[in-house]
Amino acid sequence: MKKYIVFGFTNIDSFDDIGEPSNEERQEIFRRWNEWKFELGDLLVSLGSPLINGKEIDASGILEASRSGLSGYMIIKAEDENHAHELLMKSPLFERGHGQNYEMFECIM
């Protein structure tokens, strides 16, 4: 099995008009994620986390707020990239909108 890390990027200019979820919608979103986590079992290495307050850094220190739009990550195991994509398509990842784009990388260590 290979490991894949998936990064989510938020494009503020592409936010849709659906707004923030209600408490009931939020509970349904959590329920769907928990269902997917259970279905994946050991193939889910880390559900990751939303990311905030990113900073650009170099050897001299902290430079400024990040411009990348990186907003979250997760790590899964799969046979190959097609299998990884298939697993991700079963997740709630692509359901909500909000201008999210995703990139997937194979972890080599």
Per-residue pLDDT of 35-66, as tens digits, reads: 999 999 999 999 998 888 899 999 999 998 88
Domain boundaries, the chain: 2-107
Fold topology of 2-107: Alpha-Beta Plaits (3.30.70)
Question: What's the whole-model pTM score?
Answer: 0.82
pLDDT in tens, 58-86: 999 999 888 888 888 999 999 999 999 99
What is the β-pairing status of strands 70-78 and 100-107?
unpaired
DSSP string for 20-77: SPPHHHHHHHHHHHHHHHHHHGGGEEEEEEE--S-EEEETTEEEEE--S-EEEEEEEE
